[in-house]
Amino acid sequence: MALNFFDQFMSPTWLGIPLIAIALVFPWILYPSPLNRWLNNRMITLQGWFITRFTQQLLLPLNPSGHKWALILASLMIFLLSLNMLGLLPYTFTPTTQLSLNMGLAMPFWLATVIIGLRNQPTAALGHLLPEGTPIPLIPVLIIIETISLFIRPLALGVRLTANLTAGHLLIQLIATAVFVLLPMMTTVAILTAFLLLLLTLLEIAVAMIQAYVFVLLLSLYLQENV
């Protein structure tokens, strides 16, 4: 049974064709497209209000040169949020539990922020590797430490998102299995466990939203250091 708990994280296939591509494209189909009208419906209005408020909050600490990232960061936030939320539905697959996908998202964005910093302000970008006022004997050690921490950033982005979602899905499946096992033997304990499962599900909904926001927020902080 222990092995079956991890089957939910395997990429589903149909006739040997991986279906992860459909899982990645499907969230975009759910969002309505703006109409050529003066007044839109409530769903489009709510969607536009959410994107506007999120973009304002995210780009508040950035200078105007970083505002050109507004569209791609907002799109990434909606994309991750949709994948995380749809993955909580029964009999669905969560692509963001795959480390390869998360690293594929984290690495290019992190590398883009580093390249922008080295191109626009190379002195300031390299200056982050050595804090001001560092004693001379510690300079080589600190440069090595800061360089390692710089290259660990994309790994931390991908692993954080993968670990949080994977742990939540495993906990939900473990507690749900416990409910079915305890139901014939100890009904009261099974009901209490089911209530705990409900609370955990609400927590996972919050985690799914928070992790998508944290992923994009950290990217904006990396961008802030380089623009």
Which pLDDT value is given to residue 39? 67
- Tell me phi and psi for residue 128, to 5 degrees: -70, -20
* pLDDT per position as a tens digit, 164-186: 999 888 888 889 888 888 888 88
CB-based contact 81:212 (threshold 8 Å): yes
| Average pLDDT over the chain, rounded to an integer | 84
Which pLDDT value is given to residue 106? 93
C-alpha 169/C-alpha 165 separation (Å) is 6
The residue type at 143: I
Which pLDDT value is given to residue 202? 93
Tokens 């910093």 locate to: 117
The percentage of the chain sitting over the pLDDT mark of 70, rounded to a whole number, equals 94
Residue 205 pLDDT > 90: yes
Whole-model pTM: value is 0.83
* pLDDT per position as a tens digit, 27-73: 877 777 777 777 677 778 888 888 888 888 888 878 887 888 888 99
CA distance readout (Å), 69 to 49, 72, 117, 184, 220: 18, 6, 14, 55, 9
For the chain, the domains span 8-226
The percentage of the chain sitting over the pLDDT mark of 90, rounded to a whole number, equals 24
CB-based contact 219:113 (threshold 8 Å): yes
The residue type at 165: L
Q: Which two tokens stand for residue 10?
A: 């395997």
Q: Which two tokens stand for residue 67?
A: 């505002």
Which pLDDT value is given to residue 210? 93
Which pLDDT value is given to residue 7? 66
> Mean per-residue pLDDT for 174-200?
89
Single out the residue of 37, 114, 223, 76 nearest to residue 84, CA to CA: 76
> Mean per-residue pLDDT for 194-205?
92
C-alpha 43/C-alpha 71 separation (Å) is 20
Residue 207 pLDDT > 90: yes
Q: Distance from CA of residue 212 to its chain's centroid?
A: 3
CA distance readout (Å), 32 to 43, 55, 132, 147: 8, 19, 50, 44
